[in-house]
Amino acid sequence: MSQSRDEAATAPAALTVLQPPGWRKPKGYANGMAGRGTLVLTGGLIGWDENEEFPEGFVPQVEQALRNVVAVVAEAGGEVEHIARLTWYVRSVEGYRRSLAEMGAIYRNVMGRHYPAMALVEVSDLVEPKALVEIEATAIVPDT
């Protein structure tokens, strides 16, 4: 039986959040993650669907890109809670900031309350002309 994203986020973790003593807890990401198992590295996944069609707008593309990350990790037998790192490449950091409230709900819908280590980088262009975001992931799927 498949777990909901919130149930998966509260399941025993294969990853350990790395939080140095005395540091403020970050909101929406982790400073670092550690784990043992099969390392899964995705390519840069953009916000198109299986037919290579893009939804209109930044937030819908983020949602699809995250779904694409989850699908690739699932191919290795992994779940959302095995994602240790996300690197986001966006065309506009300002557009990202303006979308934070709307994006939070979308993120939780796809990723639950799992917040891996993350980085965000503004880029001048992406290979696909319609792409507004590209996300790379690193996951550690526990050995069974």
Domains of the chain: 5-141 (3.30.1330.40)
Instruction: Enumerate the β-bridge partners of residue 88.
Output: 120, 135
DSSP 8-state symbol, 122? E
CA distance 139 to 39: 6
pLDDT in tens, 94-112: 999 999 999 999 999 999 9
- Choose among 39, 56, 38: nearest CA to 47: 56
Distance of CA 61 to the CA centre of its chain: 13
For the entire predicted model, the pTM comes to: 0.86
The predicted-structure confidence for 6-28, as pLDDT tens digits, reads as follows: 444 444 457 999 999 999 999 88
Q: What is the CA radius of gyration of the chain?
A: 15
Q: Is the pLDDT of residue 5 over 70?
A: no
